[in-house]
């Protein structure tokens, strides 16, 4: 059984990927500093899988602590999620984002070289494309200037990995540029649970519906889109988690030692369409207000998925209503606890 180091493994996408790794016969080793997660997720993962996973509370910026993980465990591959990820916050605190997101990556790459770990999956983002000139975006599109420091850390992260792969032909890596993950596990035991006020749309939708938030702010109603609100390619988090497993299985055999893949549904939905979908599946009318645009937001983006469908053999299976149903089921489960 191969040991896969999952950084940020108690977070939203990381925890779902731990489950899918286990389902495919891997042994996930979880590293998380709990900056945007809780140890309760460990218990929930055990409820889903029946297994207690090795968990290490560490800050990836601490080189010596991370080195001990590599020294004490045979690592066969790495899926690197751990990063600060709120677009708006990154505009306000750029230095925090550059330090958190880039130092951790450099430490992992250095240690991968020292301990001969050659399979690396990087959690990248469609933000590397900036605001594309045409849609849908495919992997050949140029990386335009980032709209936020968060997006810039993903661009720089990809460049660092590609440069390292060029210098070390034994090292193999894939960057997954994914779009907007939402939803929750079918058990409603894990899902998106930001600490404090949510920065992402769907947790704010579900918390508004649950009465935790007074109203939902929709940032911008004057974009050049059919209804004036931003357009995004929403993808179910379980589909996204499965894409990481598919990438891990492909990385060992791929002909080159670096590649990138879009991970999305290929469909663009506006913020108002997402709200209407939630209202339909929940039967709740949301209290929302269109307010000024938010700095760093891209107007519209959705994926061309031909490459990931063809090369990795992966395809998103769940639609927007499925995503909203699972997100609402997750929120309701939290209200019961």
Measured distance CA(155)–CA(122) in Å, rounded: 11
150 is catalytic: yes
Are the C-beta atoms of residues 210 and 271 closer than 8 Å to each other?
no
State the residue for tokens 């940020």.
Answer: 8
Are the C-beta atoms of residues 234 and 265 closer than 8 Å to each other?
yes
State the residue for tokens 């589909």.
Answer: 239
Which 8-state DSSP code applies to residue 214?
S
The β-bridge relationship of strands 54-56 and 258-263 is unpaired
The β-bridge relationship of strands 180-182 and 54-56 is unpaired
- CB atoms < 10 A from the CB of 282, how many? 19
The backbone torsions φ and ψ at residue 260, rounded to the nearest 5 degrees and listed phi first, read -130, 145
Measured distance CA(45)–CA(332) in Å, rounded: 18
Among 55, 129, 150, 164, the one annotated catalytic:
150
The backbone torsions φ and ψ at residue 83, rounded to the nearest 5 degrees and listed phi first, read -170, 150
Are the C-beta atoms of residues 169 and 117 closer than 8 Å to each other?
no
The β-bridge relationship of strands 269-270 and 231-232 is antiparallel
DSSP 99-158: IIIIIHHHHHHHHHHHTT--EEEEEEEGGGG-S-SSSSB-TTS--PPPSSHHHHHHHHHH
Catalytic residue annotation:
150
């Amino acid at each position: 059984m191969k040991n896969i180091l999952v950084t940020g493994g108690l977070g939203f996408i990381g925890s779902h990927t731990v489950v899918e790794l286990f389902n495919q016969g891997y042994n996930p080793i979880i590293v998380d500093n709990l900056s945007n997660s809780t140890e309760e997720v460990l218990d929930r993962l055990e409820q889903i899988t029946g297994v207690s996973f090795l968990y290490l509370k560490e800050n990836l910026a601490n080189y010596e602590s991370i080195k001990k993980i590599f020294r004490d465990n045979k690592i066969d591959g790495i899926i690197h999620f751990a990063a600060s990820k709120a677009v708006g916050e990154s505009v306000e605190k750029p230095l925090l984002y550059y330090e958190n997101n880039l130092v951790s990556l450099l430490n992992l790459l250095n240690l991968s070289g020292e301990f001969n770990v050659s399979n690396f999956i990087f959690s990248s983002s469609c933000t590397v494309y900036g605001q594309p000139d045409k849609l849908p975006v495919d992997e050949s599109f140029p990386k335009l200037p980032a709209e936020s420091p968060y997006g810039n850390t993903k661009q720089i992260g990809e460049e660092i990995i590609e440069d390292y792969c060029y210098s070390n032909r034994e090292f193999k890596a894939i960057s997954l540029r994914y779009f907007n993950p939402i939803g929750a596990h079918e058990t409603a035991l894990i899902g998106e649970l930001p600490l404090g006020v949510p920065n992402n749309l769907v947790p704010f939708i579900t918390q508004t519906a649950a009465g935790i938030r007074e109203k939902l702010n929709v940032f911008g109603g004057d974009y050049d889109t059919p209804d004036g609100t931003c357009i995004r390619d929403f993808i179910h988090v379980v589909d996204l988690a499965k894409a990481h497993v598919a990438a891990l299985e492909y990385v060992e055999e791929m002909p080159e030692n670096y590649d990138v893949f879009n991970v999305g549904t290929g469909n663009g939905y506006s913020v108002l369409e997402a709200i209407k979908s939630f209202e339909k599946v929940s039967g709740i009318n949301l209290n929302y207000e269109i307010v000024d645009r938010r700095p760093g937001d891209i107007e519209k983006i959705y994926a061309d998925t031909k490459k990931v469908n063809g090369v990795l053999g992966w395809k998103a299976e769940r639609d927007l209503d499925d995503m909203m149903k699972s997100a609402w089921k997750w929120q309701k489960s939290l209200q019961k606890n």
